[in-house]
């Protein structure tokens, strides 16, 4: 039996950024209907001649002026009524960026762009709240078995910054002593001969992530396993 379809394919991006000791999401304010003037995830329809990855990278650049290094496919959303205009299946991605490295700027289908604390999000268009919730759970899960958190920190950071990042994303306290012991046992951090003050007490050494050492471990069957 012949099947008649009129389904459009879109991409949406959940861009995480860590700033002011909080986990943030990059949102755009739509300038077209439906949901005009509502906040939403950056994204749009895939062009006939481009891949999904190229489409999401293009939409991010056009609507937010952001380019990403870490981009991973998240999930597909295809409820028949998720878009009031027509049937749209969205292939979603999540990305990790350092906000201070990007100058955000709205363009094309957006009239504003801003970072929002993930715990203080505005009302969102379409099913984008559901998408963000799933992306957050993926990030929390992935953080426990792969050191993607380093993509959210500065190149040089205090060990306490790494602890705060994990507690912020996982939304729970961690045993700082065991966490430090476990992380350092992997030898994927380099302690630098540079010190900065955290406030009271003696200055602390800065660290940096050794990606070369991490990928060597991973090739040999490395298990990150942070809980």
Average pLDDT over residues 75-80: 96
3-state secondary structure of 180: helix
pLDDT greater than 90 at residue 73? yes
Residue for token pair 């205090």: 158
The pLDDT tens digits for 13-71 are 999 999 988 999 999 999 999 999 999 999 999 999 999 999 999 999 999 999 997 89
- Which domains are seen in the chain, by residue range? 8-127 (3.90.79.10), 148-219 (1.10.10.10)
Distances in whole angstroms, Cα of residue 185 to Cα of each of 38, 58, 157, 193: 47, 40, 18, 19
pLDDT tens by residue, 148-159: 889 999 999 999
pTM higher than 0.75 for the full model? yes
């Amino acid at each position: 039996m012949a099947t008649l379809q009129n389904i459009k394919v879109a991409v949406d991006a959940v861009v995480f950024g860590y700033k002011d000791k909080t986990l943030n999401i990059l949102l755009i304010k739509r300038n077209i209907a439906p949901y005009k003037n509502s906040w939403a995830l950056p994204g749009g329809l895939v062009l006939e001649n481009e891949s999904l990855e190229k489409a999401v990278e293009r939409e991010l650049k056009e609507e937010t002026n952001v380019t990403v290094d870490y981009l991973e496919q998240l999930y597909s959303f295809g409820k028949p009524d998720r878009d009031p205009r027509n049937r749209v299946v969205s292939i979603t991605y999540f990305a990790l960026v350092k906000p201070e490295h990007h100058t955000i700027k709205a363009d094309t289908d957006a009239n504003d762009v801003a970072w929002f604390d993930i715990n203080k999000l505005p009302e969102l268009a379409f099913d984008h709240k559901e998408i963000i919730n799933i992306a957050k759970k993926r990030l929390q899960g992935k953080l426990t078995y792969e050191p993607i958190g380093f993509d959210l920190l500065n190149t040089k950071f205090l060990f306490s910054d790494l602890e705060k990042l994990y507690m912020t994303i996982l939304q729970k306290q961690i045993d700082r002593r065991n966490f430090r012991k476990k992380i350092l046992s992997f030898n994927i951090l380099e302690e630098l001969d540079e010190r900065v003050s955290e406030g009271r007490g003696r200055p602390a050494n800065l660290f940096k992530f050794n990606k070369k050492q991490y990928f060597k471990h991973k090739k040999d069957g490395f298990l990150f396993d942070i809980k």
